Amino acid sequence: MYMQTESSPGEMQQNPASRYEPETARAILVADCGTVVTKVSLLGLVEGQYRLMARGEAPTTAAAPHKDITRGIIQAIEEIERITGHRLVARGRILSPQQMSGDGVDLFVTAISAGGPIRLVVLGAVTPQLAELSAQAVSGLYAETHVIPSPAFSSVHGSGQGPWTPDRVKLEWERQLQSMRELQPHAALIVGLADSPAGATPLQEACQLVINAMQDQKKLGVARERLLPVLYAGAPQYVEAVRRMLHGHADVTRVETLVSQKQLGPVSMAATALYERDVIQQVPGYEQVRAWSPAAPVGAAGSLSSLVRFLAQHYTMNVTAVDVGASTTSVMMGGERGEFIPMVNAGIGIGPNIGAILQQVGVQRVARWLPFTISEEELKQYVMNRMMHPQVVPTSLRDLQIAQAFAREAIILTVETGAHAQSGQFSADLILATVGVLAHAPKYGQAMLLLLDALQPRGVTSMVLDRTMLISQLGAVATVAPVAAVQVNENDAVMHRLGTCVVPFGDLPAGQHALKVDVEYSNGRKISVDVMSGSIEVIPLQINEQALLSLYPAPTVDVGLGPGERARAAEEIDGGLVGLVIDARGRPLALAQDDAERQARLLQWMQVIGA
Amino acid sequence: MSYPLGWSLTTRIGVRRERWPGGYDLKCEPLVSAGALVEPSQPVMRILQIERPRLLPDVPRLSLPASIGPTLPGAVSGTLRERGSTIAAGLRGRVIAITRRGSVVIEGLAAIVAGTVGVGRQVAGPLTIWQAPGSTEGQLYIPPGALLVVPGPLNLNMLRQALYSGIAGVVASSISSRDLEAFLRTDLIDLLNCANPELLLGTLPPLTILLTEGLGTVAMPVRTINLLNKYRGVTALLSGATSLSAQIYPELVIPLSEAEMRERVSTPEPEVELQRGALVRVCSGNYEGAVGKIDYLFSHQQLFPSGVRARAARIQLEDGSLLIVPLPVLERIG
């Protein structure tokens, strides 16, 4: 595939793709275009291994006045040029291939999450199970689903608000049309079998709503480039009738009838294709970015999920990855046996979508994480400012702590709303934090405490910080140069090991002895620490240090083998930038109701862990 | 935010605007045809029909908040939008299209004041500068339908007075979020997040508001006051619609006079890069709202009290003092 890049001076014009294969690329540029920030990394060969050479960041330029995502990419690349001293862009284009001087690159790949989530309305005979399945089908995408059950379906299944009179039905139609105006969905998913007393009427009404919405848009002079895409996953015997009814108003694609988890794959694939076509490809500057790369830009959520699955299987452990971005929060769990639980909340983040966090959880839930008193007005002012200026960085400790409080609630909300049968039993061996407020936390203890507070792991788990924000980029690299992705991941992406956490749980009376921890270092030194309930202890165990761990819990306390059962690690555990952390605050974590007491405890925990 | 046009003030730019008072509750007929030249105070549309807001029951969060019908603050709602009333152009230029809903698209030359936050329909009226009580200049007559310029922060009482006075719109520097929410009787987060601002218009007080500096108690920059003073008395077009997700921001479009239009003046394309000498505004932190010029750009990251390291700039504020701030908290305004 021809890559439209600038040939280096002195080079003859020829098809770059014929000169090398992606697998043998010597230098790779990878960009991750987020809603607010664009991050670019330069990967290169060092002694036969791919390594991170340099990285740069710049504000994303998809919106006015730039309206061209390539400008932000080039600004970030210019930072890399300053660091490395090599020329990588010329006249607004990427130099390729790489020269002997080190100028230029052989390959450029991109992951994009700018452009927002795909908005999908779920219509028809939408039972609670079908609503849940629809949400699961898009749970690995940047997607929002909004359920609008048809009036006939609601009237049969009853909403507890009295009889469905003709006036009420008319009002419901108006309300649904208002919802469509407000949501401005990218696509519709029609679901439901015709096996309820309402028969096929809900499917017919779903089509009618689509027609009404499209006619409404025409009346208001809203121009559409293409017909509204409709994924039909309803009763198979009505697919032709649906096509006929929607002819000229919507573009109908039939997918497998959605009745159980088995059909999630086809629905998910169809939604992914729509997301790539109607969201990613509409980002201003996409065509230019596409021309720079042999592979189409991938959605950033897909990039992260690929990496999580790889890490889980490669290291044979349960991995949880956390990404709190400006507009989206993702928590992805990958199991060593291949299980995968993606939880992507496309509506909350700590940038433009920070307001949604406050609306969903309220002032008290955010304020509970702060070691100082804050008024509702100050918190709301903070939220408004972040919504309007999502790119700002906190200059005061107060602002930083507020941002981190919101990050905690973003993770908690994502897990709460994405929770299903498997996630409750998932016990992470490794927690990986990447991007945004976590990667930019000034102190490692802040990141660790944030993860402990938000995820509340139990037992023994390791924590790693992806400070270079490579994880979400490596998935994109893996699509064209998998060897490079693996090597950079092992060499550079998971370098910032925070440490190992031991979290006892069970009946932990406050202020009582919770457990004794014996640590035997590799050099033979031994220490023994008594940990009281309600406290955090940090035992020195630096990065590149290892030790054997023995745990002696109180009779009612469990460290993973049952209440009161002693545990001795079969292998040495690794240290980290924070150390060995014993979190005996109890699970679930209960914060004091009294403000003064709670703030004092929070300060104490922050000081102990180095936050 | 980066302003959609690059800077917060644009002194001369070609504009094309649909003249539509907003909302889905109107039906209008155009009074001009495509190709016609129009003046700002010239009627270009007539209202044929206004639908009363329905009293909707409580609806899920994603739908409209329930309309409160006739108990909206300000019984004057509708005086400017009665059936048969006309709508002024607000711009000087040529009509280039008539749309299906009866609105008129006008093209011309204008100066634009970009707002950070706003609310309300598109309205046209003469720019009138508000004089604080006790000032040396007496308060001039404020005609009904005026666009009142308040060169400073607003409060709830001032907004209520403006509403009951029949003023069409207010341009001010800022207001506290609490006072604005109390006046609008809606959640500001919902307002800023609404993908389609026209949906909310029927439930809001009939007063268009544009805040040049946003929320809080930030003063209006001198350059903005000077520009607005220059055009006092001119009929301008004010739109308060704000949607962060749809990237819609409020604006005041001031049509240039015929003499100004004839001038052969080249206006620079707004640059948005943060460079030495750029005029910038601090948009967060203890110095939020401060305006100054970039004096020096650090090549290495600087450490801030939060512990965050970031690329930074030293700016010289309007009072001459120097301030070091991270680049991400600066917006270029000139």
Contact B195 A219 (CB under 8 A): no
Q: How far does the CA of residue B6 sit from the closest CA of chain A (Å)?
A: 5
| DSSP-derived 3-state class of residue B56 | coil
Neighbour tally for B12: CB within 10 Å: 15
Q: How far does the CA of residue B139 sit from the closest CA of chain A (Å)?
A: 33
What is each CA distance from A364 to A285, A348, A357, A379, A595, in whole angstroms?
Answer: 42, 18, 12, 10, 11
Contact B178 A377 (CB under 8 A): yes
Averaged pLDDT score across all residues of chain B: 85
Which tokens in the block code for residue B103? 């609105």
> Chain B contacts of A394, Cβ < 8 Å?
306, 308
A178 touches chain B (CB under 8 A): yes
Residue A2: per-residue pLDDT: 29
> Chain B contacts of A64, Cβ < 8 Å?
2, 4-5, 247
Smallest CA-to-CA distance from B297 within B276, B323, B266 is with: B276
Smallest Cβ–Cβ distance between A392 and the set B24, B62, B328 belongs to: B328
Smallest Cβ–Cβ distance between A393 and the set B56, B194, B328 belongs to: B328
Smallest CA-to-CA distance from A460 within A515, A504, A497, A426 is with: A504
The packing angle between helices B177-184 and A376-388, to 10°, is 90
Contact A389 B1 (CB under 8 A): yes
- Interface probe for B, chosen from A35, A82, A354, A391 (most Cβ of B below 10 Å), is A391
> Chain B contacts of A179, Cβ < 8 Å?
62-63
> Chain A contacts of B307, Cβ < 8 Å?
397, 400, 442-443
A with B: how many residue pairs have Cβ under 8 Å apart? 151
Contact B306 A395 (CB under 8 A): yes
Q: Which of residues 93-122 of A touch B (CB under 8 A)?
A: 116
> Chain B contacts of A74, Cβ < 8 Å?
none
Classify the C-alpha dihedral B256-B260-B263-B269 as positive or negative.
negative
Q: How far does the CA of residue A285 sit from the closest CA of chain B (Å)?
A: 17
Minimum CA–CA partner of B24 in chain A: A220
Contact B189 A359 (CB under 8 A): yes
B284-301 per-position pLDDT tens digit:
888 888 889 999 999 889
B88-130 per-position pLDDT tens digit:
999 999 999 998 888 999 999 999 999 999 999 999 999 999 8
Smallest Cβ–Cβ distance between A381 and the set B192, B199, B215 belongs to: B215
Q: DSSP letters of A98-113?
A: --TTS-S-SEEEEEE-
Residue A480: per-residue pLDDT: 86
Smallest CA-to-CA distance from A55 within A495, A377, A455 is with: A495
Smallest CA-to-CA distance from A365 within A349, A377, A376 is with: A376
* Distance, CA of A141 to CA of A317 (rounded, Å): 24
Instruction: Give ∠ CA A286-A290-A291 in degrees, rounded to 5.
Output: 120
Residue A160: per-residue pLDDT: 56
* Distance, CA of B237 to CA of A533 (rounded, Å): 65
Q: How far does the CA of residue B231 sit from the closest CA of chain A (Å)?
A: 26
Most distant CA pair in chain A: distance in Å? 82
Q: Tell me, what DSSP letter sits at residue A492?
A: I
> Chain B contacts of A63, Cβ < 8 Å?
2, 247
Q: How far does the CA of residue B53 sit from the closest CA of chain A (Å)?
A: 12
> Chain B contacts of A391, Cβ < 8 Å?
328
Residues contacting residue A82 through CB under 8 Å, at least 6 positions apart: B299
* Distance, CA of A598 to CA of A371 (rounded, Å): 8
* Distance, CA of B149 to CA of B151 (rounded, Å): 6
Radius of gyration of the CA atoms of chain A, in A = 26
Smallest Cβ–Cβ distance between A175 and the set B63, B215, B270 belongs to: B63
Q: Which of residues 62-91 of A touch B (CB under 8 A)?
A: 63-66, 82
* Distance, CA of A97 to CA of A606 (rounded, Å): 49
A179 touches chain B (CB under 8 A): yes
What is each CA distance from B250 to A149, A604, B147, B179, B331, in whole angstroms?
Answer: 35, 46, 14, 19, 17
Q: Which of residues 338-397 of A touch B (CB under 8 A)?
A: 352, 355-356, 358-359, 377, 380-381, 383-385, 387-389, 391-397
Contact A355 B193 (CB under 8 A): yes
Q: How far does the CA of residue A607 sit from the closest CA of chain B (Å)?
A: 15
* Distance, CA of A41 to CA of B309 (rounded, Å): 19
Rounded to 10 degrees, the C-alpha dihedral A360/A366/A368/A370 comes to 180
Strands A298-299 and A107-112: parallel
* Distance, CA of A63 to CA of A71 (rounded, Å): 11
Residues contacting residue B235 through CB under 8 Å, at least 6 positions apart: B40, B41, B88, B90, B124, B125, B126, B127, B255
Q: How far does the CA of residue A244 sit from the closest CA of chain B (Å)?
A: 27
pLDDT tier at B247 (50, 70, 90 boundaries)? confident
Neighbour tally for A365: CB within 10 Å: 16
Locate all alpha helices (DSSP H) within A199-318, ordered by sequence.
201-219, 239-246, 264-278, 286-292, 300-314
> Chain A contacts of B283, Cβ < 8 Å?
385, 388-389, 392
Contact B286 A396 (CB under 8 A): yes
Least trusted range by pLDDT, from A210-224, A435-449, B46-60, B205-219: B46-60
A156 and A197 Cβ atoms separated by less than 8 Å: yes
Q: Tell me, what DSSP letter sits at residue A412?
A: H
Contact B57 A171 (CB under 8 A): yes
B22-41 per-position pLDDT tens digit:
777 778 899 999 999 999 99
Neighbour tally for A295: CB within 10 Å: 17
Residue A467: per-residue pLDDT: 87
- Interface probe for A, chosen from B284, B298, B300, B304 (most Cβ of A below 10 Å), is B284
A64 and B248 Cβ atoms separated by less than 8 Å: no
Burial, B299: exposed, middle or buried (Cβ in 10 Å; 0-12, 13-18, 19+)? exposed
Contact B59 A396 (CB under 8 A): no
What is each CA distance from A291 to A4, A30, A285, in whole angstroms?
Answer: 5, 14, 10
A137 and A268 Cβ atoms separated by less than 8 Å: yes
Query: CB-hemisphere CA count at 13 Å for B66?
Result: 8
Q: How far does the CA of residue A566 sit from the closest CA of chain B (Å)?
A: 40
* Distance, CA of A423 to CA of B96 (rounded, Å): 58
Smallest CA-to-CA distance from B252 within B290, B225, B222, B279 is with: B225
* Distance, CA of A490 to CA of A484 (rounded, Å): 10
Contact B325 A174 (CB under 8 A): no
A182 touches chain B (CB under 8 A): yes
A274 and A76 Cβ atoms separated by less than 8 Å: no
Q: Tell me, what DSSP letter sits at residue A563?
A: B
Contact B54 A174 (CB under 8 A): yes
Q: Which residues of chain A have pLDDT under 70?
A: 1-23, 158-163, 223, 419-425
A577 and A444 Cβ atoms separated by less than 8 Å: yes
Smallest Cβ–Cβ distance between B215 and the set A184, A384, A400 belongs to: A384
* Distance, CA of B325 to CA of A393 (rounded, Å): 10
A153 and A126 Cβ atoms separated by less than 8 Å: yes
Q: How far does the CA of residue A572 sit from the closest CA of chain B (Å)?
A: 33
Placement of tokens 């943060």 in the chain = B274
Classify the C-alpha dihedral B44-B49-B53-B59 as positive or negative.
negative
Radius of gyration of the CA atoms of chain B, in A = 21
- Interface probe for A, chosen from B63, B247, B306 (most Cβ of A below 10 Å), is B306
A399 touches chain B (CB under 8 A): yes
Q: How far does the CA of residue B177 sit from the closest CA of chain A (Å)?
A: 7
Smallest Cβ–Cβ distance between B244 and the set A171, A183, A387 belongs to: A387
A10 and A94 Cβ atoms separated by less than 8 Å: no
Minimum CA–CA partner of A182 in chain B: B196
A271 and A230 Cβ atoms separated by less than 8 Å: no
Residue B134: per-residue pLDDT: 66
Q: How far does the CA of residue B331 sit from the closest CA of chain A (Å)?
A: 9
Instruction: Please give the single-letter amino acid code of residue A583.
Output: D
Contact A146 B62 (CB under 8 A): yes
Q: How far does the CA of residue B100 sit from the closest CA of chain A (Å)?
A: 6
B127-166 per-position pLDDT tens digit:
999 887 665 666 667 888 999 999 999 999 999 999 998 8
Strands A250-254 and A228-234: parallel
